[in-house]
Amino acid sequence: MTEPLTALAGSHEAEPGTVQLLDPRGRRVEEPTYSPLVADLDAEALRTMYRDMVVTRTFDNTATALQRQGELGLWPPSLGQEGAQVGSAHALSARDFVFPAYREHGVARVRGLDLGELLPVFRGVRHGGWDPAAHNFNIYTFVIGAHTLHAVGYALGIQRDGDVGTGDPARDRAAVVYFGDGATSQGDTNEALVFAASNNAPVVFFLQNNHWAISVPTTTQSRVPLVQRGSGFGIPSVRVDGNDVLACYAVTRAALERAHSGSGPTFIEAVTYRMGAHTTSDDPTRYRDRAEEDLWRERDPIARMRAHLREEGLADDAFLADVEDEAHAVADAARSYCRGLEAAPTGAMFDHVYTADHPLVAAERAEAEAFEAAFEETR
């Protein structure tokens, strides 16, 4: 019933209609609409994008290792998706609000989160762990597609507050939601598209089509390129090479300019690939072959950007070594932070069920604490 995947297969060129500004060898591709949007990126900006991708990957590999060592219960790797995440996130302004799914570690890095803050959830010591308002980056959502509606609602709030179309870059803002190809099948996601379109909401739908929803290929979710989902709802839609950090930056920037100006939602399909397992509990050898992974390895977003920086003379050995050093420092810090994270006392389980007092919760807390105390005594 499912067909082998063909999207972008067997070629280094982007499929027609897919925005690409950097080919897999790292050479600039001229594109009339989007090239101008990266023209003002100076050497430092380009180097920062590279740095963010490398730091994210090193951290991510460390988190995978932490899971293998029993320090984390689970980890969803972002391996291979750094270009889509870092490129798009760099287009955001601090005022824009991000609704991530659960794999957006590269976006978290660009938003300024200390990457270690992502770990308590996966170590099982708390369900969230960071204040969404601190970096305008919401906590991760594990129910597929649920957060697409939250993003649209947030965007409607922005709209009501009059924070769109003022022309004042310090005021205009938007919501950006990240989700996967599997999530496009959920009712919630489709309802989010309806609400966004009919309200002309300032929201950017950033779909990372990484080709697999656990073991199920994108072809099971859709018989047409997913970018058409957006246009089917009347939302301007664009497909971008998700392993091209510059193209992802450019299309997201254009979408945000639209949103900020009051022109409404945009749907972006970033075509990328999940190089690792879905999560550390997954076994990809059961459903996909090595050849497919190898094909995508050749399109690695980091190698591509490095080749570009090298060719442009923007990255010497000292710079690359410095990036490696920072990446390892971030990963090491996250590792020791993680090892120090301990379970909260039993009573903490009852915190924040409600904001105000609730007699049942208070009674059960007392009961649990008394039991714990008595049990400790008799031990």
Partner 1 sequence: MSTTVLAKAVNAGLRRALERDDKVLLMGEDIGPLGGVFRVTDGLQKDFGPDRVVDTPLAESGIIGTAIGLAMAGYRPVCEIQFDGFIFPAYDQITTQLAKLTYRSCGDLSMPVVIRVPYGGGIGAVEHHSESPEALFAHTAGLRIVSPATAADGYTMIQQAIASPDPVLFLEPKARYWEKGEADLDAEVDLGADALTTGLHSARTVRPGRDLTLVGYGPAVRTMLTAAEVAAQEGHELEVIDLRSISPIDFGAVEASVARTGRLVVVHEAPVFFGPGAEIAARVAERCFYSLEAPVLRVGGYHTPYPASANEEAYLPGLDRVLDAVDRALAY
Binding site for partner 1 (CB under 8 A): 1-2, 73-74, 120-127, 142-145, 182-183, 185-188, 213-216, 220-221, 281, 283, 286-287, 342-344, 346, 348-350, 353, 358, 360-361, 364, 368, 371-372, 375
Nearer to partner 1, 25 or 127 (CB): 127
Within 10 angstroms of residue 377's Cβ, the number of other Cβ atoms is: 7
Examine residue 142 and tell whether it contacts ligand TPP (CB under 6 A): yes
Least distance CB 180 / partner 1 (angstroms): 8
Helix H or strand E segment including 180:
strand 175-180
Interaction of residue 180 with ligand TPP, rule CB under 6 A: yes
List CB contacts of 337: < 8 A, sequence separation 6 or more.
116, 119
Residue least distant from ligand TPP (Cβ): 180
State which of residues 41, 65, 194, 214 lies at the interface with ligand TPP (CB under 6 A): 214
Residue selected from 18, 56, 85, 210 as contacting ligand TPP according to rule CB under 6 A: 210
How far apart CA 184 and CA 207 sit, in angstroms, is 8
Residue 143 near ligand TPP by CB under 6 A = yes
Of 47-55, 174-182, 258-266, 319-327, the segment contacting ligand TPP by CB under 6 A is 174-182
Q: Is 103 in the site for ligand TPP (CB under 6 A)?
A: yes
**Distance, CA of 74 to CA of 95 (rounded, Å):** 31
Any contact of residue 56 with ligand TPP (CB under 6 A)?
Answer: no
Q: Write phi, then psi, for 205 (nearest 5 degrees).
A: -90, 110
In the numeric block, the tokens 């949007």 are attached to: 37
Residue among 148, 157, 223 nearest 183 (CA): 148
Q: In this structure, what token pair is assigned to residue 234?
A: 């009347």
Contact partners, residue 103, CB within 8 Å, separation at least 6: 76, 77, 78, 81, 180, 208
Q: Which does 103 bind (CB under 5 to 8 A by kind): partner 1, ligand TPP, none?
A: ligand TPP
Of the two residues 182 and 202, which places its CB atom closer to ligand TPP in the complex? Answer: 182
* Among partner 1, ligand TPP, none, residue 198 binds (CB under 5-8 Å by kind): none
Q: Which residues contact 290 (CB under 8 A, 6 or more apart)?
A: none
State which of residues 66, 144, 177, 197 lies at the interface with ligand TPP (CB under 6 A). Answer: 144
Length of the chain: 379
